[in-house]
Amino acid sequence: MSHAVVLGGTGLIGRAAARRLLARGWEVTVAGRDSSRMPEDIVVAGGRFVAGDRGEPGSLAAALGAGADLVVDCLCFTAAHARDLLPLLDDVGSTVMISSKAVYVDAAGNHVNSAAAPVFDGPIHESQPTMSPREDIDYRTRDGYGANKVAAEHVLLDSGYPVTVLRPSKVHGEGAAKPGEWVFVKRVADRREVLLLSRGGRGVDQPSAAGNIAALIETAAGKPGRRVLNTADPDAPDALGISRIVANHLGHRWEEVLLDDHAPTGLGRHPWDRLPGIRLDMSAAGRLGYLPVGDYATTVTAELDWLGSADRLPAGFDHDHFAPMFDYAAEDAYLAER
């Protein structure tokens, strides 16, 4: 039986990968810091949890044990993280590192975390220029995240080991830390009768279902090699389309007010507010034999059901990240004057 080790296996992508591989007959070891975050269904399916903190000496070696056919690294954020992994890869058949579309830059050097929004000429191919690799800046900062990811990619791809780097877009799935869909789910729960959307709801930031990422992980594991692959859903609905998918699934109807550029600043904000839109080219994954498990509307339903069950959401879930998107007082004042 093939054996996979998923580093950061209790996170969104790690859980999806563990479930996918277990369903395909793999033996799966999930490495994480907190056993309480190990989903019961993964345990029932045969998943084994190994406690460990990546920053602790010997933690990675303990997780890998005698080796593995596949290592999925969901927690590789820096070149140092990548270098810590290298000595263990002699006994690994294939490695998949989760990177991000945040590494890409446009012709002006702007990226998705820049103060100025990037402008990409069509879907982003893996050959698109990236940020310069850096190790001298905190990866938890807006300018540091992508640059550190690039540095980590270089360490692994230059190692000679069969490493596949996956660059997802806007990841969604049950248990997401910052699920963009919450801006619509909460409005349904609050029985809002009107939905305001900036820029006419035309913004696009292509989603990546955790389940689709897991399917590409399995595909890459079956064909070890050194490569970079985008990973995103087969479709890229705009914000208006996403809002309708959410409302329809939750059985809610509202009046749609599609704001133009003359609307007050800040009204109708949402996580897909990007024009020009951001889309990823998925042709390279397709050539490898990858098949998505479903489109956005199909794959987002589990997350929507989770978000719609308030008793299942963790404490502090609705944090400051979303606060500017729920200014109901400003919305009501605008509607009253309209």
Chunk the chain into consecutive blocks of 10 residues (it has 338) and report each block's average pLDDT, rounded to whole numbers.
95 97 98 92 96 86 91 98 96 98 98 96 97 97 97 98 98 92 94 97 98 98 97 98 98 97 93 95 98 98 90 65 92 94
Closest CA to 217 of 46, 86, 95, 90: 95
pTM metric for this prediction: 0.96
DSSP letter for 263, please.
S
Closest CA to 156 of 165, 147, 143: 165
CA distance 82 to 3: 21
Instruction: Give the CA distances from residue 299 to residues 163, 212, 245, 305, in Å, rounded to whole numbers and listed in that order.
Output: 27, 8, 11, 11
| Per-residue model confidence (pLDDT) at position 53 | 83
Apex 202 CA angle, 198 and 207, nearest 5: 105
Contacts of 271 (CB under 8 A, 6+ apart): 170, 178, 180, 183, 205, 325
| Per-residue model confidence (pLDDT) at position 177 | 86
Question: Angle between the 182-189 and 239-249 helix axes, to the nearest 10 degrees?
Answer: 40
Place of tokens 């690039």: 150
| Per-residue model confidence (pLDDT) at position 315 | 62
CA distance 314 to 218: 30
Place of tokens 């939905």: 195
| Per-residue model confidence (pLDDT) at position 57 | 83
| Per-residue model confidence (pLDDT) at position 319 | 66
Radius of gyration of the chain (CA): 20
